[in-house]
Amino acid sequence: MDFALPDYVRHKDNKNLSHIPGSYGLPVVGRTFQFVLDPYKVLDDGYREYGPVHKASLTFQKFVVALGPEFIQQLMLDSDRSFSARMGYDSPLGDFFAGGLLMRDFDEHKFHRRIMQTAFKIDAMRTYVDLMHPIIDRQVDQWGDIPAFHFYPHIKTLLLDVGAKVFLGMDMEGEETKALNQSFLEMNEGVLALVRKDWPGLLYRKGMNGRRDLEKFFLGLVPGRRGKEGSDMATFFANEKTEDGDYFSDKVVGEHLIFLLLAAHDTTTSALTMAAYYLANDQAWQDRLREELKGLGRPELEYDDLGHNVPDLDHCFKEILRMNPPVPMLMRRTVKEVEVGGYRLAPHTMVQISPLYTHRMEQWWTNPHDFDPDRFAREEHKQHSFLWAPFGGGAHKCIGLHFADMLFKCTLAKLVQGYRIRFAKEDQYPSRIQHFPFAKPMDNLPLVLEKL
Ligand code: HEM
């Protein structure tokens, strides 16, 4: 089914925000550099000086920033279809992730989200857990023997391997998968390029070449999966049909797979890295997790354990995503006039809401900067339905949230059962944290893993 290009896509951003309080900072760059170094501080300064809704120039774009759970609720639920995700993310992601779910709006988005649904049903999830465990076991078992072990590069490799298996049904050993990984990593680098021109020698060109290689790869992969049985996501997507009984085209399936790889990989890598970081600093919580897992009476988690059988592990997962949400800011652009926090916003105005800030607001959370998973046992997060929103909400709510939950818990369970996690250096806490594109300690988290 073809959807016409919506008219709002053709418009430039509305830059006339003179009626909104706030300041842009320096010409062109605004407060981008301060924001990249310490996003919470920049948002908090803006909140204190101008209130929850103010204008700012961050990441080289002019935005209205709306801070607090009520605005996350308004933009995510979007009851009268006022906010476009596609145009919100067009500038940073448009070229690289064209055709991905987040780059589609409203009816078109709903239609496409169907392609992915089968791959995220419970039966499929159970199969993914079985596919994941051997890869996690094999790699984590080797980590204790690696000298000068840095957690971040190893968890990244582990999750790429899990991704190749679960998303594409491929094993990492093959040369083809190695080339695929390389293209994927290059595309991710390109997303961050400051000069956004597809010219020779530029990082952006390298990223776009990565994207073109991935497109070529998926165009070749999808036809071979039609009509076949398989428990990987590519095979599920390739066999999904429209209401008229037609397959989605190779191009459409490929575009969804590329976006999925991006959405799944760095987010979970960041969450697990930050988990290892906070747990290395908190031996008592490591012991609690070990005790809880021992109580299960078997070494590996099953899909059905994830809900209620491991509450401490669940609260750790939630606390990590509260403190360092892998997607710290959610972006939208208005498609029509709309009111946000008492201000009328003209069509085509960029708006950002912030899980990162909302997750640390003092009026809602006790000691918000402290690692305290028990706050979820106390149900602090239940004061407002969008107070804890690392996965967004509404139509675009993360489709992979149960997958992320499962991967996080299976990996962390394996890690804490096999090793005591310690920092490799004296005074390693607090480390300098790199916030963009995804949170991680700048030193890649050197650890000592003591075999248990
Ligand atoms: C801790 C890990 C993850 C976090 C924090 C996360 C967060 C998010 C957020 C906040 C959104 C919504 C963005 C918005 O509305 O602006 C989103 C969307 C999405 N996520 Fe995740 N995600 C994670 C892992 C995953 C995984 C593992 C997958 C796939 C297996 C995935 C696939 C997607 C897709 C396809 C979308 C777009 C959904 C749509 O537009 O309908 N994510 N994610």
pLDDT, tens digit (0-9, with 9 covering 90-100), for 123-147: 999 999 999 999 999 999 999 999 9
264 Cβ closer than 6 Å to some ligand 1 atom = yes
Residue 55: name the closest of 77, 32, 25, 23 by CA. Answer: 23
Q: How far is CA 136 from CA 11, 15, 155, 175, 409, in A?
A: 47, 48, 10, 21, 11
404 Cβ closer than 6 Å to some ligand 1 atom = yes
Question: 368 versus 298: which is more confidently predicted?
Answer: 368
What are the beta bridge partners of residue 352? 65, 331
Closest atom, ligand 1, to C-alpha of 167: 30
CA 70 – CA 299 distance, rounded (Å) = 41
Instruction: Give the pLDDT confidence score for residue 394 in this predicted structure.
Output: 98
Instruction: Give the pLDDT confidence score for residue 172 in this predicted structure.
Output: 67
pLDDT tens digits, residue range 78-109?
Answer: 999 999 999 999 987 888 888 899 999 999 99
Residue of 398, 406, 408 with the most ligand 1 atoms within 8 Å of its CB, for mutation:
398
Is the four-CA dihedral 192, 197, 198, 202 of positive or negative sign? negative
pLDDT tens digits, residue range 150-175?
Answer: 999 999 989 989 998 999 988 766 67
- Binning pLDDT at 50, 70 and 90, where does residue 58 land? confident
- Binning pLDDT at 50, 70 and 90, where does residue 308 land? confident
85 Cβ closer than 6 Å to some ligand 1 atom = yes
Protein residue closest via CA to atom 19 of ligand 1? 398
CA 386 – CA 363 distance, rounded (Å) = 14
Q: What is the mean pLDDT of residues 336-364?
A: 98
Q: How far is the CA of 373 from the centre of ligand 1 (A)?
A: 22
What average pLDDT is seen over the chain?
93
The DSSP call for residue 145 is: T
Instruction: Give the pLDDT confidence score for residue 54 in this predicted structure.
Output: 98
Strands 330-334 and 350-353: antiparallel
Asked if residue 19 has pLDDT above 90, the reply is yes
Q: How far is the CA of 259 from the centre of ligand 1 (A)?
A: 10
Between 3.40.50.300, 1.10.630.10, 3.40.50.720, 2.40.420.20, what CATH number should domain 7-378+393-451 receive?
A: 1.10.630.10
* pTM of the shown model: 0.96
Closest atom, ligand 1, to C-alpha of 325: 5
Residue of 391, 397, 405, 438 with the most ligand 1 atoms within 8 Å of its CB, for mutation:
391
Instruction: Work out the widest C-alpha separation in the chain, in whole angstroms.
Output: 63
Q: How far is the CA of 263 from the centre of ligand 1 (A)?
A: 5
- Given 3-state DSSP classes, what are the helix, strand and coil percentages for the chain, each rounded to the nearest 5? 50, 10, 35
Q: How far is the CA of 117 from the centre of ligand 1 (A)?
A: 14
**One-letter amino acid of 168:** L
CA 1 – CA 303 distance, rounded (Å) = 35
Kindly report which listed range (156-165, 189-198, 423-432) carries the lowest average pLDDT score.
189-198
CA 266 – CA 381 distance, rounded (Å) = 25
- For 4, the 3-state DSSP assignment is coil
Q: How far is the CA of 231 from the centre of ligand 1 (A)?
A: 21
Kindly report which listed range (7-16, 200-209, 344-353, 364-373) carries the lowest average pLDDT score.
200-209
